[in-house]
Chain A
Amino acid sequence: DGGITQSPKYLFRKEGQNVTLSCEQNLNHDAMYWYRQDPGQGLRLIYYSQIVNDFQKGDIAEGYSVSREKKESFPLTVTSAQKNPTAFYLCASRSGQGSALTYEQYFGPGTRLTVT
């Protein structure tokens, strides 16, 4: 089955530690995205990548870093510089093929990160 996987589902870290969240897709999608979801707020874009070896900052990139070495993978590192890292993190992907109007993003199951 094609889809997006995120691991782990739950992640616990101590304050001051960096942590890397995994996102893998086998949909052959070109673009991948990382969002953060907090209670009572809409999804906020952290980083996105439209092709391998290239990525752009989203609205809330401070304290985060990413890499895109393979088309299938887009890991997110939450660094100790992120002031409020506890949140639900969602990875998404989008096909770059077909009509230029097509922009549906498909989401993974999410990783809930708790930092204490």
Chain B
Amino acid sequence: EDQVTQSPEALRLQEGESSSLNCSYTVSGLRGLFWYRQDPGKGPEFLFTLYSAGEEKEKERLKATLTKKESFLHITAPKPEDSATYLCAVRPGYSTLTFGKGTMLLVSP
């Protein structure tokens, strides 16, 4: 069975305190790993897609990396506006997306 596990469930950081969120997966035939940001009461906002181990993508203070078993979302010098729930999803084969439960990030000033 395809599984996606995100850790930690919640993370509290001080402004400027860099950290990483983890998304570990067990799927057969990965055809994409996706990161989304979701603000409370809103729909998820697409951030990144990673397709192969070793791939990296960056956007402002966020950097996503991928290995054969997991992906990390690195947040460098976060600001309060980075506070949100970050969702990870995988595409097993040619199937639809399987989502993790998310990591709730709170950045305090």
A residues with a Cβ closer than 8 A to B are 4, 6, 33, 40-45, 48, 58, 88, 90, 92, 101-110, 112
Contact = CB atoms under 8 A, between A and B. Distances in A.
What secondary structure prevails in chain B residues at the interface with A?
Answer: strand
A109 B42 contact: yes
B87 interface: yes
B32 A103 contact: yes
A46 B45 CA distance: 20
Contacts, number: 55
A102 B50 CA distance: 10
A44 B102 CA distance: 13
B87 A42 contact: yes
B87 A90 contact: no
Contact of A103 (B42, B43, B91, B98): B91
Q: How large is the interface on B (under 10, 10 to 19, 20 to 34, 35 or more residues)?
A: 20 to 34
Interface string B14-55: 000000000000000001101010000111111001010000
Nearest to A101: B51
16 contacts: A33-B96, A40-B101, A42-B98, A43-B87, A43-B97, A48-B96, A101-B51, A102-B49, A103-B32, A103-B97, A105-B46, A106-B46, A107-B43, A107-B44, A109-B42, A112-B41
Contacts of B31: 101, 103
Contacts of A105: 34, 46, 97
Given A41-B101, A103-B31, A90 B44 contact: yes
Contacts of A103: 31-32, 34, 49, 91, 97
B63 to A, nearest CB: 18
Contacts of B99: 42-44
A112 B43 CA distance: 11
A33 B43 CA distance: 13
